Structure 1
Amino acid sequence: MIKQLLTLLLLIVSIDSYCCDCKTISKEEEYINSDLIFLGKIITVNDKFFEIKTLEVYKGKTIKKIKSYISDCGIHPHKGEIWLLYSKKNDKNAFFISTCGNSRSFSKPFILNDANLPPPPLFDSSVSLNELNEKNYFKIASLQLRLDILNLRENKRQNELIVLRSSCESLENRIELLKLILGSIIILVVFFVFRGLKSS
């Protein structure tokens, strides 16, 4: 009995030492705080880092490949997985992707801190009921992931539209200024032509 209690105590202490202190962060808050948000495919994984090929960028500059270092509080992906990733740049221009945020893969579309998802299925002696609960939970999480991607695409389009409108307004202002300058030049030319004709 004492051996089992010591094993349990050791297990609890070791679990606590590897846990990250995660705060609940909303998708909106993480969107604002992220330097790069993108859909990517994991192409290389080793003990120190993983490499991601970007498929679609929702925020930030388009980069073909991203390298992120593996850490205790970072994600631990597998080669070939497709992920929606929210990342921040550190001082050394490397990207960090936290497990505490909204990054997730299509193979495991669950957000650990998402209050909108139903709780995970409870263990039941009925295996078929458990499988049904797991499938429904997975479907809901997958649909939420796809909805998040659609919202990110829409947000990107809205931002591009704002930039385009601003460019158009700037171009219109330049055209008005050119018209004013051209009108002034025409008036001056006409004035000097009439003055030359009058004096001759």
Structure 2
Amino acid sequence: MKLGLTFLLATITSLQIALGCDCKQQGDLNEAQKRNYENSELIFMGRVIELNEDGTFKFEILETFKGTKQKYIELKQTHSCSVLPSEDEEYWLVYIDELKNDEPIIISSCGLSRSFRYPCLMNINDLPPPPPPSDAFLQLESEILMSEHRTKSLEILKAEIEQLRNWRSEK
């Protein structure tokens, strides 16, 4: 029995490690923004206009900060470390590392790409507060904390977009 339980736990742990993303901490936000700007081939603000069951989705590009301007771009979720927008995530800031003609274009969950609806940066120590507790008053306090955190994250996103506009105009 002990051997079977040990084997099961080892298998589950190995599976989680195999499926997990190996994101490196981005460090300081300003450094991460500059590094992601320099290392991205395309950066844009866009609106999700199509979500398909095969993991593909399409953006209408509203503003290009770096790279060749285009009206639309189709991307694909290819693995657990690539992003797939949900129906309620309409507007995004997107960083694309590479554009290859023969491979699907992905948004890495390890980068700075994020929706306006969920603007938290998971790899910059910007995690949202934990889920609300069952006590009603504590849940209210938790909702206030989550609201404050989202507001702060939106302000960071706005400042980042302004910085991207500045870097674009300097070129």
TM-score tier (shorter) = 0.7 to 0.9
Aligned residue runs from structure 1 range 63-74, under 5 A: 63-72=70-79, 73-74=81-82
* Letter matched to residue 66 of structure 2: K
Match of 1:18 in 2: 19
> Which structure has the larger Rg over C-alpha atoms?
1
Quote the offset at 1:142 in angstroms.
0.8
4+ residue segments displaced more than 4 Å: 2-14, 122-125
CA distance in 1, matches of 2:6, 2:140: 34
Q: Calculate the TM-score normalised by the size of structure 2.
A: 0.78
CA distance in 1, matches of 2:86, 2:130: 27
1:118-159 Cα deviation digits (max 9, x unpaired): x53256651111111111111111111111101101111121
CA distance in 1, matches of 2:40, 2:124: 18
Q: Which 10-residue stretch deviates more, 39-48 or 133-142?
A: 39-48
Match of 1:29 in 2: 35
Percent identity of paired positions between Structure 1 and Structure 2: 29
* Letter matched to residue 52 of structure 1: F
Quote the offset at 1:92 in angstroms.
2.0
1:156-199 Cα deviation digits (max 9, x unpaired): 1121xxxxxxxxxxxxxxxxxxxxxxxxxxxxxxxxxxxxxxxx
Match of 1:151 in 2: 163
* Letter matched to residue 77 of structure 2: I
Unaligned runs of 5+ in 2: 27-31
CA distance in 1, matches of 2:118, 2:12: 25
Which gives a bigger RCO, structure 1 or 2 (Cα 8 Å, sep 6+)?
Answer: 2
Q: Calculate the TM-score normalised by the size of structure 1.
A: 0.68
Q: 1:142 to 1:12 in 2, by over 3 A?
A: farther
1:28-57 Cα deviation digits (max 9, x unpaired): 111111110000111111223111110000
CA distance in 2, matches of 1:27, 1:120: 20
Q: SS at 1:50's partner residue?
A: strand
CA RMSD of aligned residues (A): 2.6
* 8 A Cα contact 2:91 2:116, kept in partner: yes
Quote the offset at 1:27 in angstroms.
1.5
CA distance in 1, matches of 2:9, 2:139: 28
Partner of residue 56 from structure 2, selected from 42, 49, 56:
49
Match of 1:62 in 2: 69
Q: 1:20 to 1:57 in 2, by over 3 A?
A: same
Match of 1:196 in 2: none
Match of 2:29 in 1: none
1:58-80 Cα deviation digits (max 9, x unpaired): 00110111111212221111246
Aligned residues: 157
Partner of residue 112 from structure 1, selected from 99, 102, 122:
122
Match of 2:93 in 1: 84
